[in-house]
Chain A
Amino acid sequence: MKGVELAIGDLNGVLKGLLEKEVVDCLIIPHSVGNNIAYMLVTDPDKIGGEGIFAPSFSVNAAGLVKGWTIKSKVGLVAKPCEIRAAIELVKLNQIDKESALLISVDCPGAFENQVYADHRDEIGEWIDSAKIEELKSKGVELREACKICSNRLADVGDIAVVRREGEKVVVAALTPMGESALNALGMELEDKDIERKDEKAKIADAAKKNEESLPKIGSIEALEEFLRDCIVCKNCRDVCPVCYCKECFFDQPLGNPVSGDMLNLGVIRGAIGLPTNQLFYHLTRVYHVSATCVGCGACADACPKEIPLTRFYPVITKKVQEMFEYVPGKDVEEPIPFTTYEEEELEDRLR
């Protein structure tokens, strides 16, 4: 990879440079809001304070914020790897015009829920290492479940990767021609940088696997019914999901969201129906719809007002489908989504 090593403090200059040199028309980046971190869209370089890019706090999956970005003006998205992976899936789904998006992934140590981060910001700060994660864990302050089972948290996707190095240093590396010309436009001298980090990735994947195995299993349709018992079908989990992108959701239409007469009709057919309607049908449909593209970000779990731990359902189940297709969402923008392609001889052992 071609890249450049910088002091962390110089990252701000890079971000500002992207706007000043008109590499992008705007940036969507994390910034501080009171005691917490949220995203902002910024066009004025002077508004970039720089804090929060690595902060281990998860608010929304930022790919969802650029869903539908098919205009010619260019956006630069600075976000965690799971968010950039979701953005890459959206490119494949024609929901983002790749020519109009410069995707910049930053290393993620694993994140805390927004509220948890706010409550412990003094202790956590702008970055957290594994020793500190363990220390906080012993006090009952834990990473999000999705982050504990994530094995892809090191920056290696998008056009540019921002990699943490010992001693408050970062490497900014170009992963694509678009990324390289962006860095060139900033007048950076690029040299070969190794940001592969195979061993570290293997270790992370190992820990993630163990954590996933220790999650309570759903295991049966009755268990799923119980798991979703408190769901009020508010569809927040759909709305925050970066890869749930249908413009007209079935569950907003009369069959999926029946009201009055339609609801009564269903009741007449079935004798009795649970309300709000279609709890199980909604989630089973959604899990199928995101089965190839779910990046396991856990945004759905964070957004659930009933605190249903949806990470135990969506990422866990969809992973089985992704393994079957040997597909890692967001890994490669050129690789087609499994449902849009086929091989003439395949999967016969999965049909009966």
Chain B
Amino acid sequence: MVEEAKGEFEPKIIGFTCNWCTYASADLAGTSRKKYPPNTRIIRLMCSGRLDPMFVLRALLNGADGVFIGGCHPGECHYIKGNFYARRRIAAIRTILKELGMANRVRSEWISASEGDKFASVMKEMAAQIKEMGPNPLRGKVL
């Protein structure tokens, strides 16, 4: 694979979003024509509590440059505690990935259904940060 120069490549970000909030906020961002870069492929989960950290690993091992996880604000989970458990899992997998220099490719945010603006700005910010970081070092490797 040809080395892409930093800043010039278009990162691929996989987003796992909760049906009840962040997924809806993405919808809202779209319908209200908020502009944000089209780097993120969204996968809808019923709750951030459905996020198995293996999803994050698999995305990174398959070459995703970043992984985004969106859920309801703490205390507002549709299933009461899903995002509390999710928060522990995400913190743990990021702690592991930090030891391997990969934690800053994984980001999670609590974004409610009405926060279309926040969704757009987080997407913008994350795409820029990952552009700055350069491609996932595992991209193109035979794993």
Contact = CB atoms under 8 A, between A and B. Distances in A.
Interface of A: 218-225, 250, 270, 272-274, 279-281, 284-285, 287-288, 291-292, 316-317, 320-321, 324-325, 338-339, 342-347, 350-352
B13 to A, nearest CB: 14
Interface stretch (B4-12, B24-32, B34-42, B55-63): B55-63
A321 B98 CA distance: 11
B96 A281 contact: no
A350 B75 CA distance: 18
A171 B69 CA distance: 53
Contacts of B57: 281, 284-285, 288
25 contacts: A218-B100, A221-B102, A223-B100, A225-B138, A225-B143, A250-B54, A274-B143, A280-B61, A281-B57, A284-B57, A285-B57, A288-B54, A288-B92, A288-B93, A320-B95, A325-B92, A339-B85, A339-B92, A342-B88, A344-B75, A344-B84, A350-B95, A351-B91, A351-B94, A351-B107
A343 B107 CA distance: 20
Contacts of A285: 54, 57
Contacts of A325: 88, 92
Interface in B65-122: 74-75, 81, 84-85, 87-96, 98-102, 107-109
Chain A interface main SS type: helix
A225 B107 CA distance: 23
Contact of B74 (A224, A338, A344, A350): A344
A316 B99 CA distance: 10
A339 B142 contact: no
Chain B interface main SS type: helix
Contacts of B85: 339, 342
Contacts of B53: 288
Contacts of B88: 325, 338-339, 342, 347
Interface range on chain B (Cβ under 8 Å from partner): 20 to 34
A339 B57 CA distance: 18
A273 B90 contact: no
A351 B108 contact: yes
A351 B98 CA distance: 11
Contacts of A272: 142
B143 A351 contact: no
A93 B61 CA distance: 29
A345 B142 contact: no
Nearest to B63: A270
B138 to A, nearest CB: 6
Contact of A279 (B74, B87, B89, B143): B143
A221 B138 contact: yes
Contacts of B81: 342
B137 A222 contact: yes
Nearest to B100: A221
Contact of A317 (B90, B99, B107, B137): B99
Contacts of B87: 342, 346-347, 351
A12 B137 CA distance: 58
B141 interface: yes
A328 B1 CA distance: 44
B135 to A, nearest CB: 12
A254 to B, nearest CB: 15
A221 B92 contact: no
Q: Which 3 A-B pairs have the closest CB atoms?
A: A342-B84, A350-B91, A347-B91
Contacts of A342: 81, 84-85, 87-88
B122 to A, nearest CB: 9
A220 B92 contact: no
B50 to A, nearest CB: 15
Contacts of A316: 99
Given A274-B143, A344-B75, A284 B96 contact: yes
A301 B141 CA distance: 26
A343 B87 CA distance: 10
Nearest to A287: B96
Nearest to B89: A339
A221 B61 CA distance: 10
A345 B74 contact: yes
Contact of A324 (B62, B92, B109): B92
Contact of B92 (A223, A291, A352): A291
A316 B100 CA distance: 12
